[in-house]
Amino acid sequence: MKTRIDIGILFSRSGPYRLLAEASYRGAMDAIAAINADPERRIEIVGIVRDPAGNTDRYASLCADILATSSARHIVGCTTSWSRKEVIPNLEKAGGTLWYACPYEGFEASEHVVYLHACPNQHLVPLLAHVLPRFGSRAFFVGSNYIWGWETNRVARDVVGDVGGTVLGERYLPLGDTDVARLIEEIRATRPNFILNNLIGPSSYAFFRAYGDLCRSDPAFSPRTCPILSCNLTEIELPEIGPSANGHLSVGPWFAASTTDAAPSPSASSFYAAAHSAVSVLADRLTDEIRGGAGAMAFSDRTFKTRLGPIRIDPNTHHTSLPVRIARAQDGRFEVIEAEDGLVAPDPYLSRYDPARLMGRRTLRVVS
Amino acid sequence: MSARSRIPNLGGAKAFILHRPHATTLALSRSLSAIGLVPVEAWPELPAGGLAADFVFFDADLGFDEQFPWRAGEAPMPLIALIGSEAPGRIEWALGQGADSHLVKPVGGSGVYSALLIARRSFDARRNLAREVESLKARASERQTIVRAVVALSEGGVGEEQAYAQLRTLAMSWRVTIEDAARRIVDLKTGGADERSRCL
């Protein structure tokens, strides 16, 4: 007889970042279905689903609602850092835990959050280390006007400064804004070596498309000479951008294998893989808990087998040791062009960041 | 405009927690390790190694002056008060120690990082200010020396204004402050080149 366990599912399947949230939602729900269908498993998970529809103000109340109206103590959810910060006080009050499976800007280690996706030493820093020596150090930063863009760009400014580079501009658009003409004009005028893109959703798609037009009118802005860098771009968003995504760079713990000819499935995204992994690790810990083991939050140093591959969760920071891949978009997929050996341990506060080691990394191997 | 501060790198910094063993010290140690610091718990006295700490957290509730190997208000590192009871006497005592920031007990996961950054910034600001005041005081106390040097230089019949200009030129060519240049001139004139002027 299986023990039924409620788990909260809190994703915005509509609104500006619905594509990312939908991938996360499907990852979590597919993992739940797989666990429930497994006769060997001693638990059956019941998803308590709430949808804030992209409205940041609804996350805290829906989180409170899950914790109050069900027996769920664990919630898989949130896409933006803004929404994550909204729910933490509720989790602290009720003793709940958020399983957060999206890349984020770091500088947080809540006891009430498990961080399954990359933090800056696993996305931004290796991506810049790849790009700065190859393309140059004249940078232009764009971002959506909230904490992800601000903080990611702040760290990037330091990294660019450490190699003697220049930040030619730093511009923000409100979430959902698609008026990118001025950004494009500024980029045309300042002629950077690369653009760091922390825009999300429709703003990002509009920016890629407009930059594609710029490239067609002025080849100096081709991705071969001036790429757009993103730390959160995955396969699921490429169809929205279209051919203008080709040649631009992203970084993440997982990219779909590019060996098949079939169109990428909705599950082809590290957002899907990370949310799926969150549920597998959580199910593992809950099973241990009902067996009288060390409890759901005892991660020790063991390895979990997940969609992201074998991963480890640091018991101290609740962040995950992850693979790091740098990839180039091409025709709706990503081609991995550089990969770190093994897993990269999380460093959410960049307390081990060393500018001297940044450019002299020997752990990288070129894979294509 | 002052330069924008960089990624605050606290990796490997040592933080002493002067508090009896308690849920607060446990939560604080966890947060500090997560941020990348090395926490060391101690009670009731700060051990010798505490002098080399980068940060010291101290209990404002049960703390007392003799815990610290320095005089109240003269800690050589940023101090962060752990405040439980908000009794005015205890807050006053914590302020007397020179707390640069504080955390309210019970300490959870949040607030630790900002307390560290605020403490470090205000400690640095306080130290720089103290240094500046000290050097200004030293210079102010040399006013009489400057007057004597100008008088000495104008003995040859040059006017006071020209003598002062000459003093400034000498200070510049010797690459010392105008006060130090004045001190040398006075020493030379009085023939009593003391130990200090020979060292200059």
Residue A126 has pLDDT above 90, yes or no: yes
Contact: B9, A353; criterion CB under 8 Å: yes
d(CA A348, CA A317): 8
Sequence-separated (6 or more) residues with CB below 8 Å from residue A11: A21, A22, A24, A25, A28, A51, A77, A78, A79
Sequence-separated (6 or more) residues with CB below 8 Å from residue A119: A103, A104, A105, A106, A319, A346, A347, A348
Disruptive mutation site among B29, B110, B120 for chain A (greatest number of A CBs within 10 Å): B110
Interface of A with B (CB under 8 A): 88, 92, 107, 109-112, 154-155, 157-158, 161, 316-317, 347-353
pLDDT band at B189 (very low <50, low <70, confident <90, very high): confident
Element (H, E) at A169: strand A166-173
- Chains A, B: CB pairs < 8 Å: 49
SS3 B97: helix
Average the pLDDT over A127-136 and give the result: 96
Residue B195 has pLDDT above 50, yes or no: no
Report all structural domains of chain B as residue ranges with CATH numbers, in order of start. Answer: 14-136 (3.40.50.2300), 142-199 (1.10.10)
Contact: B30, A111; criterion CB under 8 Å: yes
d(CA A207, CA A241): 9
Residues recorded for chain B: 200
The two structure tokens encoding residue A335: 């081609």
ipTM over 0.90: no
What residues of B are in contact with residue A345 (Cβ under 8 Å)?
none
Report all structural domains of chain A as residue ranges with CATH numbers, in order of start. Answer: 3-117+265-321 (3.40.50.2300), 121-261+324-366 (3.40.50.2300)
d(CA B75, CA B169): 41
How far is B24 from chain A, CA to nearest CA, in Å? Answer: 14
| Pair A351, B36: CB distance under 8 Å | yes
pLDDT band at B1 (very low <50, low <70, confident <90, very high): very low
Q: At what angle do helices A124-135 and A147-162 cross, to 10 degrees?
A: 50
d(CA B185, CA B197): 9
| Pair B69, B46: CB distance under 8 Å | yes
| Pair A200, A176: CB distance under 8 Å | no
Tens of pLDDT along B83-137? 998 999 999 999 999 999 999 998 987 899 999 999 999 999 999 999 999 999 9
Q: Which amino acid is at B18?
A: L
- pLDDT value at residue A264: 59
Tens of pLDDT along B31-84? 999 999 999 999 999 999 999 999 999 999 999 999 999 999 999 999 999 999
Average pLDDT score over chain B: 89
Rg (alpha carbons) of chain A, rounded to whole number: 20
**∠ at Cα A311 (A309, A315), nearest 5°?**
165
Contact: A351, B110; criterion CB under 8 Å: no
- pLDDT value at residue A173: 96
Contact: A110, B109; criterion CB under 8 Å: yes
How far is B60 from chain A, CA to nearest CA, in Å? Answer: 25
d(CA A204, CA A144): 9
The two structure tokens encoding residue B44: 């009731």
pLDDT band at B193 (very low <50, low <70, confident <90, very high): very low
d(CA A190, CA A171): 13
B109 lies within 8 A of chain A by CB: yes
pLDDT band at B158 (very low <50, low <70, confident <90, very high): confident
Average the pLDDT over B145-149 and give the result: 92
**∠ at Cα A192 (A190, A198), nearest 5°?**
105
B97 lies within 8 A of chain A by CB: no
B114 lies within 8 A of chain A by CB: no
Nearest to B116, CA basis, from B25, B14, B195:
B14
Whether cis (ω within 30° of 0) applies to the bond prior to B39 is: no
Contact: B109, A111; criterion CB under 8 Å: yes
Q: How far is CA B161 from the centre of its chain?
A: 38
- pLDDT value at residue A258: 62
Average the pLDDT over B181-200 and give the result: 69
First-to-last C-alpha distance (Å) of chain B: 35
pLDDT band at B192 (very low <50, low <70, confident <90, very high): low
CB count, 10 Å around CB of A277?
A: 29
Phi and psi, residue A26, nearest 5°: -65, -35
Average the pLDDT over A227-240 and give the result: 96
| Pair A271, A54: CB distance under 8 Å | no
Average the pLDDT over B133-143 and give the result: 90
